[in-house]
Amino acid sequence: MNENWKTFLIQNGATQDSNGLFVFKNEFYDNRLVDNNDIICDLSHFSTVVFAGPDAAEFMQGQFTNDVNKVDEKHSQLSALCNNKGRMIANFRLFKYQQNYFISTRNDLVEHCIGHLQNYVLRAEVAIQDVSEQLIHTGISGKNADSLLQPFHDKLGTTVNSVSSSEDYIIIRVPGETPRYEIFCSFDNAKTLWESVIDKTSAVNSAYWNYLDIKNGLPFIDSKTSEEFVPLMANLDLIDGVSFQKGCYTGQEIVARTHYLGKQKRRTYRIKIISDTRPRAGDQLATELSTENQYTGTLVTVYPTAVNQYEALAVIQIQAAEGEKLRLKHDAGSEISLLELPYALHDNE
C-alpha cells in the first residue's frame, strides 16, 4: 500500500491489526452508529488494478461476467472473473477513467487475478497493472454524504453505480439505502478530502465497510473462498453483476446453464451467528443432520457486532437455509438465524 497514506492514517489515530486493516476505535465501538451516521473509512484492503490499451475492453469482455461495453466514465458495474469451470476467481467493481478501465478487488486476490489474466492476453494490446500505490481508496457514507462530497465534484452522480470524475477525484455511488460512495484519488487529494470532512464525520475501522456490504448483500470473496462459487451462488445475477446477453467469456457456459436450467441449489444469505469461537471467511456451516464430512454452507464475509455475535454473508444450500437449523460446523453449540437482504432471492428462478 501507499506508505505515505499509511503514515498519515497512523498520525491521525489509526493502528493496523494483524490482517492489515486500519483500526480507529475499539472493537464494537463503530456498531453504536446508526445507518445514517456520516462516516469516513479507509479501504486499503481493496486493491485497484488498471487495464490499459486499445484492446482492453474487448479483452475484458472475453473474461468478465458482466457486459463491459456498458461501462463508461459515468457508469460502473459489479462483475467477476471465473475459471473455466465457472467458479469465481474474484469479484469486483469495474469502472472507467480517462480511457482506461479499473477494477477494485480484495488485496489477497490481485496477484492471482493478474496471473490468470496474463494467460489470456496473447497478442491483445492490453497492459494489466496493480496501481494501488497511486490510487488511494476511501469510502464515505451517511445522510450528509452527498453534501460532504459536493465541494469535490459539483455535479455529483447520486444514482447507484454512477461515476463522477474530475482531474482529481473518481467518486462512485455504491449500493445502500443511505448514500454511500467510494473515492479514488492521489495521496495528496486523499489527504485533502480526509482533512476537510473529518470534523463532520466519524473515522471508522476499515472492517466497518465490510459490515455495510453485508447489510447491502454484496459478497466480495477473498483468497479463502476464491474458486469456490459460481457467480449465481454469490447472488451476482441479483445485484447486476452478470449479463446473460453479452456472449462468451471464460466459464460462461456453466454460468448460463445454471441460470437457464433453473437448478440453482445455493444462494448467498445474510445471517446472524452466535458462537463462542470467532467465525471467519471460509468456515463451513452444517445442520443437525450433517455428517462429519458434510457441510451446507460457507462463510464469505464476517463482521463482529457484539461479544460472541456476528453478522455474515454465507453461501448456503437453499433447502438447508430455509428449512433446517444451521450452525457452524466447527462449533456444535453455535446458533445461526437468517436476516433480511435488501433484494429478493428467488425472483429470477
Cell of 234: 454469490
What is the model's pLDDT at position 18?
Answer: 87
Distance CA 207, CA 283 (A): 18
What is the model's pLDDT at position 259?
Answer: 85
Tens of pLDDT along 304-346? 999 999 999 999 999 999 888 999 999 999 999 999 999 998 7
Helix (H) or strand (E) holding 204, with range, is strand 202-204
What is the model's pLDDT at position 349?
Answer: 44
- CATH 3.30.1360.120 maps onto the chain at 1-222
The pTM (predicted TM-score) of the whole model is: 0.95
Do the Cβ atoms of 220 and 175 come closer than 8 Å?
no
- CATH 2.40.30.160 maps onto the chain at 231-339
Do the Cβ atoms of 193 and 169 come closer than 8 Å?
yes
CATH of domain 1-222: 3.30.1360.120
Cα 122 to its chain centre, rounded Å, is: 29
Tens of pLDDT along 109-167? 999 999 999 999 998 999 999 999 999 999 999 999 999 999 999 899 999 999 999 99
Task: Give the right CATH number for 231-339 from 3.40.640.10, 2.40.30.160, 3.40.30.10, 3.65.10.10.
Answer: 2.40.30.160
The low-confidence residues of the chain, meaning pLDDT below 70, are: 291, 347-349
